[in-house]
Chain A
Amino acid sequence: MTEPRAIFADKPTLVGEKVLLRPVRLREDLPLLRVLLQDEEILRWTSGSWTPVVPEWDEALERRTVDRYRTRNDRTDCLDLIVVDRSTGRGVGEIVLDGWDEPGNSCTLRIALGPDGRDRGLGPEAIRLLTDHAFRVLGLHRVSLSVHSLNSRCRVFQKAGFRVEGVRRRALPFNGRWVDRIEMAALAEDWGHELPPGPDPERPAGVLEDDPGRRLTDAEWTRLRDYLRRYVVHELDQWDCWRIDTAYGPIAITLSNAVPEDGHPGVWRAI
């Protein structure tokens, strides 16, 4: 067996418009890390409990944090960078590539922004910068991640160019009920290309783009309508995703109440 390639050995500084990503500098970043580790919103979407318990910042936790982050820059199996707000020069969050899969040439991405880094468009830019690094510099083929379906910030990933690949139903317990987990990914071959336009509102939703003369069979169309109806009747605050095998090949359908801004009026009219 050969040693695995040290894919993330290099710790670059990536400069964007509003943000800059740079390696961890423990002494300087410890106050930020403390904020991130005690932030209720971050804990809510990452700890899996509705009412997150904010850990007390004691000596033991500080030591654990120091131990963990002191070695970040020596690790070759993950790339941890601090998200710096260029307007103030201060660190506001953390963004990470890890979970490298050598045969699939893929990895996962996660990001956590503290209160100072939210709602200002820093997230999509940080995600875009690091994903771009993964594809263009590291030569990766696929970057994926998963998001809690109630986390309304999940759209930053779509803004950055990720696509929804599926919805793992009832994957997480949350506030006395089950919620879904949304799976997203970006592929190198799509990266930098414009996303294909949504369906044309002037065209009935049952007609496929590549061959406007042909229609779905009645059975396929009924099934599609049943899916959509189920979605509307069922839970509008949840995402859903289905695959229909049709005579044209499989059709993937992804829906959420966040979609209309991207424009799927054809589908809505059909319900």
Chain B
Amino acid sequence: MTDQLPSLTVTFADKPTLEGERIVLRPVEAEEDLPWLRVMLNDPDVLRYTSPEYTPVAPEWDEAMEKRIVEWYSTRNEQTDRLDLIIVDKSTGRGVGEVVLNEWSEANRSCNLRICIGPDGRDRGFGTEAVRMATDHAIRALGLNRVSLGVYAFNGRGQRAYEKAGFKVEGVRRQVLRWGDEWIDDIDMAVLAEDWL
């Protein structure tokens, strides 16, 4: 590559705490986070904007589900090919959502970003700030060239947050999600290191 590879002292195995203006991003603390994560995962907006398929009502929270969620969040800090961070509202010290860098491609120096914010953290600019911080970490600390994401066309709040954070629309994948009687497009967005630095 023509661009300089930064010295890769930071990897996906590192789980940093990143201090922002109004939020802090920190590693998952399963015991503390599980109670509010359960609430967030049942939120109708979260289901609508993050489900890969039509999920009009939250699926029943049975034992199997509980086991899956506990297992998932208690193993996030052991992952070496992805980074899951909790978004903490600095004014209350409470977790309000999560931001994740996943689908890392070492060869292409790229990854995917996704974010999910519960009802307590919405409409306060937390999403934009969290996206900016996680992207900055991906590009500056992890040395990635490209961070991309997909956002459903009916999620205007998400699109605005990503655009404000610096992501650009790269395309519209038509009719990928069946939501009730409607087909929903998926908007591809990305940010490149050359635009970011």
- Whether chains A and B associate is yes
Q: Which A positions have Cβ atoms within 8 angstroms of B?
A: 48, 101-106, 141-142, 144, 164-173, 176-178, 183, 185, 187, 241-243, 252
Q: Which B positions have Cβ atoms within 8 angstroms of A?
A: 1-2, 52-54, 107-110, 145-146, 148, 169-178, 183, 187-188, 190, 192, 194
Asked if A187 and B188 make an inter-chain contact with CB atoms under 8 angstroms apart, the answer reads: no
Asked if B145 and A170 make an inter-chain contact with CB atoms under 8 angstroms apart, the answer reads: yes
Rounded to whole Å, the gap between the CB of A67 and the closest CB of chain B is: 25
B188 interface neighbour in A102, A103, A106, A168, Cβ under 8 Å: A168
CB-defined contacts of B176 to chain A, threshold 8 Å: 101, 104, 106, 142
CA separation between A164 and B175, bound complex, in Å? Answer: 14
22 A–B pairs (Cβ distance < 8 Å), ordered by A? A48-B107, A101-B52, A103-B54, A103-B178, A104-B52, A104-B176, A106-B176, A164-B171, A166-B169, A166-B171, A167-B170, A168-B190, A169-B170, A169-B192, A170-B146, A171-B148, A173-B1, A173-B107, A183-B173, A187-B174, A241-B170, A242-B169
CB-defined contacts of B188 to chain A, threshold 8 Å: 166, 168, 183
CA separation between A103 and B110, bound complex, in Å? Answer: 27
Rounded to whole Å, the gap between the CB of B151 and the closest CB of chain A is: 12
A103-B177, A173-B1 given; 14 more Cβ-contact pairs under 8 Å: A48-B108, A103-B53, A104-B175, A104-B176, A142-B176, A165-B173, A166-B169, A166-B188, A167-B170, A168-B188, A170-B146, A171-B110, A183-B173, A243-B187
Rounded to whole Å, the gap between the CB of B58 and the closest CB of chain A is: 17
CA separation between A171 and B145, bound complex, in Å? Answer: 9
CB-defined contacts of A183 to chain B, threshold 8 Å: 171, 173, 188
B174 interface neighbour in A171, A178, A185, Cβ under 8 Å: A185
Chain B, interface SS category: strand
A168 interface neighbour in B148, B172, B175, B177, Cβ under 8 Å: B148
CA separation between A171 and B194, bound complex, in Å? Answer: 13
Rounded to whole Å, the gap between the CB of A217 and the closest CB of chain B is: 19
Asked if B174 and A168 make an inter-chain contact with CB atoms under 8 angstroms apart, the answer reads: no
CA separation between A241 and B189, bound complex, in Å? Answer: 11
CA separation between A187 and B174, bound complex, in Å? Answer: 8
Rounded to whole Å, the gap between the CB of A162 and the closest CB of chain B is: 11
CA separation between A141 and B182, bound complex, in Å? Answer: 13
The answer to whether A168 and B171 touch (CB under 8 A), given A105-B178, A178-B1, A178-B145, is yes
Asked if B175 and A252 make an inter-chain contact with CB atoms under 8 angstroms apart, the answer reads: no
Closest to B169 in A: A243
Closest to A189 in B: B175
Closest to B146 in A: A170
